[in-house]
Amino acid sequence: MPEKLIHRTILAIVCLVALLGGAALAQAPLPVDDAFRLLVRRDADAGLRLEWQIASGHYLYRDKILVAGDKAPAVATPPGETKDDPNFGPTEIYHDHLTARLGEAPPSGSLRITYQGCAEDGICYPPVTKALDLATLELSEVETGFGFGATREVATVTPASLAATGEPALATAAPAAPDPTSLMTGNLAWTLAAFLGFGLLLSLTPCVFPMIPILSGMLARSGESLSARRGFGLSSVYVVAMALAYAALGLVAAWSGQNLQVVLQAPWALGLMAAVFTLLALSMFGLFELQVPARWTGWIAGRTQGRAGSIAGAAALGFGSALIVGPCVTPPLAAALLYVAQTGDGARGAAALFALGLGMGLPLIVFGTFGGRFLPRSGLWLVRVKQAFGLVFLGLAAAMLLRALPEDYALPVWGVGALGVAAFLGAFDALDAATGWGRRLQKSAGLALAIYGATLIVGFAGGATDPLRPLAFLAGGRRRPGVRVAGAGGSVGSRLRPGPVHGECRRTPHSCLLYR
């Protein structure tokens, strides 16, 4: 059975991603400002959030993040991964992304933010210090290094004088314990709302239908005493229990994701995840169905039958039902779990999945309370909802892929994506005189998108990298540097690829030609 095979393949891929802890692929070190991008935002409570985007294959040291200045607030950094080098002992580092928090900062004045990191494949950057204007939150370059360029005093041999000239006398706020309020700020509310919405959308697909007989069976068995109120109570318990089961899944996914963060950033892992998302998207387009085997459903339904009708029975049934979801919940659920694993935040993951379960269950509560009268009818629009999910997954796959590819490739990837969406909007479908205005409007939007997508691809071929000006090269705009050491004979193994010269030498210090 091909579906089974595909299902197993996906499972195998996910397991592979989870199990292979191996080394991340080596990547060329970047200029320090590309390796670590710092952005500062002000929170609602006047605190500051320092956000670093860390390029893949690079990491920041936790104990090198320092904030100095007049009345500098304490900086709180989350616990990092422990990098345990046999030669150099354990140190805490961050990959991918770091958010540090500063306590209440004055509305004006300036702070100096210092940070330092390395690239995995063997180069360490000098510390970077940026000046932060507290009024505008703009960052300006102060220095790279620690003032080494200036004339320095010469060291002396006596230990006493060493103490005097020893460590930098920065008034630093030491890295503190993780901020317990971090979960309540940021975009948690949005995440929860989004997951609740996704859940509701999912419930509109036929996904939730297998649960209706289970629920109605349970309600029926509670006999004549069933009032709307009791029905509401029982179905609510059922739904909350189901959501809790999802929350548990979310917690596990986030926890395992936290331990796999490094692996999940490796290009091959990103590629595999992109492949999984693509397969999930294909499933949403109806190419094949992903489904938990029917006998599991039967088994759980059978186990819980005896206790049906009571509150405890409803809870047990709900918890069990979470695992026997219908054919179309599986891919979105897998996608949600992958997403949560990426964030590596346990509480957030559990909350998000709880919201998803709740969203899925809301119509069930309506059903339990009022009977089948208010449930939406199945139809073509449900297929559209599934397709929309498919598009979202394809977008996620593209985003994953682009993190593993050089930025130049963003244009063709999004171009192809735009063409795909255009096709779904009916840009290439024929209209006739009787076609309504809605359909015509949709086709116009689709056509516009198709033209934009095609332009992006043409722009890529012309060497453009700016999605807003893909055809700038026609006007003699910036091309990608075309200087390459053509036909430089004699390969020296994988590490020594004769590369382009100086300008790009900064990007590929592994063996570029420098001079001569």
Partner 1 sequence: MNRRFFLGLAAAGLAGSSAFVLAGTRPAMAKAVDVNAVLHDPEAPTGGNPKGDVTIVAFFDYNCPYCKTSAADLARVVKEDGKIRLVYKDWPILTEASVQGAQFALAAKYQGKYETAHNALMGISGRRSSGDAMLEAIKASGVDMNRLQADLTSHGQKISALMQRNHAQALGLGMNGTPTYLIGSFRTSTLDYRGFKEAVAEARRRQTAK
At 462, list the tokens. 């012309």
DSSP at 325: -
Nearer to partner 1, 3 or 121 (CB): 121
Cβ atoms within 10 Å, residue 485? 12
Please report how close the Cβ of residue 486 comes to partner 1 at its closest, in angstroms. 9
Please report how close the Cβ of residue 243 comes to partner 1 at its closest, in angstroms. 46
Nearer to partner 1, 8 or 484 (CB): 484
Please report how close the Cβ of residue 21 comes to partner 1 at its closest, in angstroms. 21
Nearer to partner 1, 126 or 406 (CB): 126
Q: Which residues bind partner 1 (CB under 8 A)?
A: 29-32, 85, 87-89, 91, 116, 118-119, 121-127, 144-146, 148-149, 151-152, 154-159, 162, 165-168, 483, 485, 488-490, 492-493, 495-496, 501-503, 505-506, 509-516
Nearer to partner 1, 13 or 131 (CB): 131
Please report how close the Cβ of residue 151 comes to partner 1 at its closest, in angstroms. 6
List C-alpha distances in Å: 392 to 203, 285, 385, 511.
17, 11, 11, 40
Nearer to partner 1, 373 or 516 (CB): 516
Cβ atoms within 10 Å, residue 374? 10
Nearer to partner 1, 159 or 223 (CB): 159
Please report how close the Cβ of residue 103 comes to partner 1 at its closest, in angstroms. 27
Please report how close the Cβ of residue 502 comes to partner 1 at its closest, in angstroms. 3
SS3 string of 251-304? HHHHHHHHHCHHHHHCHHHHHHHHHHHHHHHHHHCCCCCCCCCHHHHHHHHHHH
Determine the 3-state secondary structure of 503 from DSSP: helix
122-126 long-range contacts, CB within 8 A, separation 24+: 123/29, 123/509, 125/32, 125/35, 125/36, 126/32
Distance CA 411, CA 455 (A): 9
Nearer to partner 1, 167 or 407 (CB): 167
Q: Are strands 110-115 and 128-133 parallel, antiparallel or unpaired?
A: antiparallel
Please report how close the Cβ of residue 407 comes to partner 1 at its closest, in angstroms. 18
Distance CA 275, CA 404 (A): 13
